Amino acid sequence: MTTIVHMLRHGEVHNPEHILYGRLPGFRLSERGQRQALTVAEAVAGHDITYVVASPLQRAQETAAPIAGAHRLDVQTDERLIEAANDFEGQRVAVGDGALRQPKHWSKLRNPFRPSWGEPYLEIAHRMLGAIYRARAAAEGHEALCVSHQLPIWTLRRFLEGKTLWHDPRHRQCSLASLTSLVFDGEELVDIVYSEPAGSTDPKVTGA
């Protein structure tokens, strides 16, 4: 029995201050992000989606809404799909700018492999895996769609592919409103398919 679980990264966020907003409340989709959500909803309109679930954060819920609506479903919420915790939340963190230029923050950068500035990669992978298998069970024999965030999605993908979890953020294959689709035969993962129905974006976009 084939089941597909689509991991959807939310659309673009309204973030005029260009901060790392992380888990902060009140960050909604921009107008472009709303269009991206509608584009994905159109792209998956013909899919056999029977379960839609999202991170509790506003941008993820807003991205999920038109997809759930098109399939006459309610948006479920799973806390395990939330953005990764980050000590730099609420600050500007572009290279050469903001918090990263302040010596008081440099100790947080001591271990990029864990990482020392936030939630450990392995913990992210494990909680995401739990959310994905819950979605697979809920949509068994059909398709599920889970709206999450760039780092959790990319971390889970690397975990499933047997790769090291630490990585260069500039090389993440997880554009805004992109789909990372997990194909299961029963409970066994047999394929991972990546697509960009709303187009490609720079993986270095702050906040994710």
pLDDT in tens, the chain (208 residues): 999 999 999 999 999 988 999 999 999 999 999 999 999 999 999 999 999 999 999 999 999 999 999 999 999 999 999 999 988 888 877 665 666 667 776 676 778 878 988 999 999 999 999 999 999 999 999 999 999 999 999 999 999 999 999 999 889 999 999 999 999 999 999 999 999 999 999 876 655 6
Residue 10 is predicted with a pLDDT of 98
For residue 182, the surrounding DSSP H or E stretch is strand 179-185
Residue type, 27: F
State the CB neighbour count (10 A cutoff) for residue 173: 13
d(CA 26, CA 23): 9
d(CA 145, CA 108): 34
Task: Please report the DSSP string for 61-95 in residue order.
Answer: HHHHHHHHHHTT-PEEE-GGGSPPPBTTTTS--ST
State the CB neighbour count (10 A cutoff) for residue 73: 16
Q: Which residue has the tokens 């979605």?
A: 135
User: Residue 9, SS3?
Assistant: strand
Residue 71 is predicted with a pLDDT of 98
d(CA 116, CA 11): 28
Residue 105 is predicted with a pLDDT of 63
